[in-house]
Structure 1
Amino acid sequence: MKFVVVGCGSMGRRRIRLLKKISSAFQIVAVDSNKERQNKVRKEFAIETFDSIESVFDCFTPDCAVISTPPLSHSSLIESCLNHNCHVFTELNLVSDNYKNNIALAELKNRVLFLSSTFLYRDEICYIQNKIQCSNSPVNYTYHVGQYLPDWHPWENYQDFFVWDKRTNGCREIFAIELPWILKTFGEIDSFNVMHSKMSSLQIDYDDNFVLMVTHKNGSKGLIACDVISRKPVRNLEVFGENVYLKWDGSPDGLYCYDFQNKKDCKIALYDKVDRKENYASFVIENAYQTELECFIAECQGSKKAKYTFEDDLNTLSLIDRIGA
């Protein structure tokens, strides 16, 4: 298979590395308007790079495009790649620009349009979903996700990163990462109340913390706190009900299920090997990023379906708009 990876920043390099890990037979080229990022990719991966997506199509015929640029650029890139008969994998969009047209275009071209939702491919989330389904009763949960915005990409100024922009802000991205698996796990939301404000001295023009209380249609309830001000990177989940108790700190070795009979927390080991990169929080691992790429490739080959779609994301983004993030 032939791939073009659009964007040579941290996510684009991650996708290139994982594609090479999945199969050394893949032919991969990359696109970035920034020469420094191009040079870094050529040096690290020994692949050809281009200044624009148009110049790629002049001399290369990719089967698949992986779009890893800032979210506000995604819509036009998706359209261009679909018009050149590529299956398209894209990182989080955060905005719904041109969604319906691109969904229709993918159907017309009979191409896969695949949206990243990495947490749905985490083994811990699959385990949690199964335990909740087996409990066969409503549950309550508390969930706090936060990290100080300048620490997200410590190698660059946060004002040069798309999370500085109000339309694609940091809290909005957290909700876009977390709500897909929350909705798939606990069910559709019936109602919610939200509190939010700006507490920090960060040079941003959006609220930096949200506390969301939700009621799900199946009777489950949750308290979700997200922020870009927590000086310690945090992802803490607690799920409790009559038939289940789970806690998870977001890391691959931090999932526990309470044993009612023996009155103790039991550590749940799900990984034979954990793939980590430096400069990221402990709860950021590469395994699920690879798994969702493998799912995309399998869907292109007709053997699997995505766990999360553009249609699903329209509903999620609408909910985030109503939350006010």
Structure 2
Amino acid sequence: MKALVIGLGSMGRRRVRCLRQLGVQHIEGHDARADRRSQAAQEYGIAVREQLAAADLHAFDVVVVSTPPDQHHTAMAWAIEAGKPVFVEASVIRDPLPALDEKARAKGVVVAPSCTLRFHAGIRDITRLVHSGVYGKVCNFSYHCGQYLPDWHPWEKVSDYYVSNPLTGGAREIVPFELTWMVDAFGWPAKVQGTKLRTTDVGAPIDDTYAALLRFEGCVGSLVVDVVARQAVRKLTLNFERASLSWDWDGGVVRVWEADAGRLVELHQPKSVAHAGYHQNIGEAMYVAEVDAFLAAAQGRGRFPHTLQDDIRVLSLLEEIER
């Protein structure tokens, strides 16, 4: 198999690692920046291209798009036109996607929008419990995802990459990133309300905090996303009819208080090793599993769990929250 990774920043290099771990030997990369090309070539020994044209994609079996979000649509269009299965990182701009989806479906091209958190062991446990109905229906939940934007890329200024652009800002990007697993676990909300605000200076003129109220059939949830939290956090509190669940990303365990039995049950997630330079809780396993699911779909061995139509719908929720 021959794979082309378009964009060799932090996520592009991560996808190269995933492909390598999954046994893909022939990998090439493209990036307009010489420093990123040099780093990818030195770290992973892959061939790199300074220039790339649509016709070049015919030489590859699969394409991975890891460019900044406002550039996704160009590489996606090239891959779809060439009839190549394409994986694309988390999107934050909806407008170009419906036309691309229509073309991809007409040509029968696999498009796999990233849904990384669906592959996280803790979130998989939570989703399984919700779907099982073993504790009755969900009554309510509250979820907070907080990070500090300058910590994302300590090696460069916030103003030097896409998270400083209000359209692709760090907090704005994380909202659909989280919603993607939430709609899988809880279904699609019937109504959303929200607000966003710039509360402090994180090195860019962006809204740094989003808050949303999500109304589902029979339950309600709240979501807070920020990029001002000096200590990274992902925490969930969820109330079933017959149990209460809590999950802390840092703890690596889902705790469920079973009311009928009067006991606490703990579901421990396996340890996942983080790549050098990343927070210890940002393990590689979920990214590898995600790329594996893409390769399976590209080879006709399975279906990728998140479609481009799903992605468009999630981004519509983001826009509704902002309205």
TM-score of the pair, normalised by structure 1:
0.92
Superimposed CA distance per residue, residues 16-66 of structure 1 (whole angstroms, 9 cap, x where no aligned partner): 01101111x5311111111111111111111110012229818x7101000
**Structure 1 residues 215, 100: CA separation in 2 closer, same or farther (over 3 Å shift)?**
closer
2:184 match:
184
In structure 1, the partner of 2:47 is: 48
C-alpha displacement of 1:310: 0.9
Deviations 1:220-247 (A, max 9, x none): 1112111111111111111112222211
The answer to whether the 8 Å contact 1:252/1:283 transfers is no
1:270 positional shift: 3.2
Structure 2 SS opposite 1:147: strand
State the distance in 1 between where 2:314 and 2:101 align: 16
SS in 1 for 2:59: coil
The structure with the largest strand share of the pair is 2
Match for 1:209: what amino acid? T
* Whole-Å separation in 2 of the counterparts to 1:206 and 1:322: 18
In structure 1, the residue matched to 2:75 is 77
Partner of 1:90: 88
Q: 1:294 aligns with which of 292, 295, 304?
A: 292
Q: 2:143 corresponds to which residue?
A: 143
Quote the offset at 1:75 in angstroms. 0.4
Partner of 1:210: 210
Of residues 188-197 and 231-240 in structure 1, the stretch that sits farther from structure 2 once superposed is 188-197
The answer as to whether partners of 1:251 and 1:284 remain within 8 angstroms in 2 is: no
Q: Identical aligned pairs, as a percentage?
A: 29
- Return 81-90 or 303-312, whichever deviates more: 81-90
Q: Aligned residue for 1:173?
A: 173
Q: What are the Cα deviations for residues 78-127 of structure 1, in whole angstroms up to 9, with x where unaligned?
A: 11122223211110121124212222222333221110110112222221
Instruction: Tell me if structure 2 keeps the 8 A contact 1:81–1:88.
Output: yes
Deviation at 1:301, TM superposition (A): 1.4
> 1:206: Cα distance to partner?
3.0
Secondary structure (helix, strand or coil) at the match of 1:268 reads: strand
1:305 to 280, 294, 303: 303
Once residues 55 and 130 of structure 1 are traced to their aligned partners in structure 2, the CA distance between those partners, rounded to angstroms, is 41
Alignment counterpart, residue 318 of structure 1, candidates 316, 319, 322:
316
> 1:203 and 1:299 mapped to 2: Cα distance?
39
Structure 1 range deviating more: 123-132 or 250-259: 250-259
Change (3 A) 1:61 1:252: farther
SS at match of 1:139: strand
CA contact (8 A) 1:141 1:223 kept: yes
- Answer whether contact 1:238 1:246 (CA < 8 A) is retained: yes
Return the letter of the residue paired with 1:177.
Answer: F
Number of residue pairs matched by the alignment = 321
Change (3 A) 1:308 1:46: same
Q: Is the 8 A contact 2:195 2:210 kept in 1?
A: yes
TM-score, normalised to structure 2, is: 0.93
Residue aligning to 1:39: 38
SS at match of 1:189: coil
Query: 1:127-172 deviations in whole A, cap 9, x for unaligned?
Result: 1112122233132111111111111111111111211101111121
Q: Does 1:246 align with 2:245?
A: yes
Residue identity opposite 2:53 in structure 1? E
Show the counterpart of 1:18.
18
1:193 corresponding residue in structure 2: 193
Match of 1:284 in 2: 282
Moved more, 122-131 or 260-269: 260-269
Runs of 4+ in 1 over 4 A off after TM superposition: 261-264
Q: Which residue of 2 aligns with 1:255?
A: 254
Measure the CA separation in 1 of the matches of 2:312 and 2:92: 10
Q: What CA distance in whole angstroms lies between the structure 1 residues aligned with 2:268 and 2:313?
A: 33
Give the letter aligned to residue 201 of structure 1: D
Give the C-alpha shift of residue 294 in structure 1: 0.7
RMSD of aligned alpha carbons: 2.0
Structure 1 contact 256–267 (Cα < 8 Å) conserved: yes
Aligned match of 1:157: 157
- Quickly say closer, same or farther: Cα 1:193–1:110, change in 2 above 3 A: closer
